[in-house]
Homo-oligomer: A and B are copies of this chain.
């Protein structure tokens, strides 16, 4: 049985890949070079894919700087730094990329249909990023309908299933799950800043570090702006 796993190379998607593997699937990892500011996450994705022993790792390239609309695809928009978790939770942040999960899931559907996979795994999480419209269960349910109606298999009653094993987990619970699955955190990448070392102060670093700290664990990654 084959599964396509959306793999950015961060904590969440890496945990999902190891989860899919533990579920017994032959894993086909799918990453995207969309000219994101933090393209080094792709190296992390490759390293994690190798560690997990995937059957194939595809990287689709396109340029979302064409219309920007996000601090991750338009370097004229400043990256928020040093925000508290409470500040992050208030609004959809400028790091939101319009329709990104819809684009990612669409390519995953195409890949899954072409290789005859049964499942697509995505590491969305509705708790820690409650502002994102495309991480919530009702959105995933709508994409599931698209998977059912937009493919031959789906029309015949064999829709490719979207699995979201992290959707109701807190970041700390994701780390605990990843630990139980043996995810090599040192190979993952979460930072948005696009510098050689993870910054430690962007929203993504903050969320990650806060979760490790809450668990009394040390994040193995080096950070440039931490005291």
Contacts and interface: CB of A to CB of B under 8 A. Distances in A.
Contacts of A64: 110
Interface stretch (A148-156, A185-193, A217-225): A148-156
A91 B154 CA distance: 15
Contact of A149 (B92, B110, B139, B154): B139
15 contacts: A67-B110, A67-B114, A69-B114, A98-B113, A99-B106, A99-B109, A100-B110, A102-B106, A103-B110, A105-B106, A133-B152, A133-B155, A134-B149, A142-B142, A143-B150
Contacts of A154: 133
A101 B62 CA distance: 17
A111 interface: yes
Interface in A58-93: 58, 60-64, 66-69, 92
Give this chain's copy count: 2
Interface residues of A, number: 44
A133 B138 CA distance: 23
A43 interface: no
Contacts of A109: 98-99, 102
Nearest to A102: B106
A155 B110 CA distance: 27
A107 interface: yes
A195 interface: no
